[in-house]
Amino acid sequence: MKMVCLAAAALFSYCAIEMILEFLLKKQLQINERLSVLSQVKKETVVSSEEKKDRQLLRFIHISKKLKEEVSLSGIRLRPEEFIMIWFLLIFAPAMLLFAFAPDLIQCMGLFLIGLVVPPFFLKMAAAKQRSLFEAQLGDALMVLSNGLRAGFSFEQALENVSGDLANPIGGELNTIVRELKLGGELEQSFLIVADRMESDDLKLLTTAVVIQQRVGGNLAEILDIISQTIRDRLTIKRSIKTLTAQGRITGQVIGVLPILLLLALSFANPGYISPLFSSLPGRLLLMLGGSMEIFGFLIINKIVNIKF
């Protein structure tokens, strides 16, 4: 059994090293590919062919549209297939290595759960941070867009200038809208796609205002100023609410994490002391009861502090 675990861990480690090297050399691969296009070389280079083989190797992994958007939005410089492979390695490789050298079921299950939960949690937090930054930048973007309209630019020209002047993530998202408009896409549809990806109600409000103005007319610059001020007021209220509910949110996080960390620490420090919880029927019942109460308390606290407006 130990030999099988060692062989599996070695295989996982090899895949991880291969993916890490490919990630580190990705920039050089992109440079080589651009040089090959500029020089109009018909024969593909060895590096680009190897990159295509890697993509074909990972093509069997089915990636949902939601996960692709999360990986792209989070800023992680990985393809969704690479993220899934790294997640898979973090789930199984540490637990198998520990089981091969110290076959403790409790500790292995702890490492398994950590590898299962931490990568998607990190991905979700990174994507939420980008969405929050997008919301914070939107008010300033509308002000710059309004000034461009007053300077005599059309809406598309002002939008293109804003997308080139502002930093990511809003600069990249507006640039996506500009490219779709140049390719003949509808303005409303292009804005709504970005609004759904960024989960931005403010951008949906902007889309509605722009579409109505284009159909019935009106002073678009003044409308954008009003929307920009509304967004700033909402952000001010949101920051105040976040400050007032900080204690409750931290309490919920401590309630959710502390028992798990304490259980792992006791299993590493004194496995015999904690093993009755897993080996006896009363211990399993207590674990199920404690876990249910933990989840219930965390959900209640999260519902209380998550104020929607």
Inter-residue contact 10 to 96 (CB < 8 Å): no
pTM here?
A: 0.63
d(CA 27, CA 286): 52
Token pair listed for 44: 């593909």
- Contact between residue 76 and residue 126 where contact means Cβ atoms under 8 Å apart: yes
Q: What residue type is assigned to position 245 of the chain? A: T
pLDDT at 55: 47
Instruction: Of 140, 137, 144, give the one whose Cα is nearest residue 173.
Output: 137
The pLDDT assigned to 38 comes to 43
| pLDDT value at residue 9 | 55
pLDDT digit string, tens, across residues 219-240: 888 888 888 888 888 888 888 8
pLDDT (0 to 100) of residue 11: 57
Q: What percent of the chain has pLDDT over 70?
A: 78
Residue 69 amino acid letter: E
Cβ-contact 178, 171 below 8 angstroms: no
What CA–CA distance (Å, rounded) separates 147 from 157?
Answer: 12
According to the model, what pLDDT value does residue 8 have?
55
Tokens of 203: 């951008």
Q: Report which of 183, 184, 211 is spatially closest to residue 195, judged by C-alpha positions.
A: 211
Segments in the chain below pLDDT 70:
1-63, 104, 106, 309
Angle at 165 (CA atoms; ends 160, 171), nearest 5 degrees: 70
Q: How far apart are CA 82 and CA 262, in angstroms?
A: 32
What is the model's pLDDT at position 255? Answer: 76
**Confidence (pLDDT) at 63:** 66
In this prediction, residue 284 carries a pLDDT of 83
CA separation (Å) from 289 to 65, 272, 285?
A: 36, 21, 6
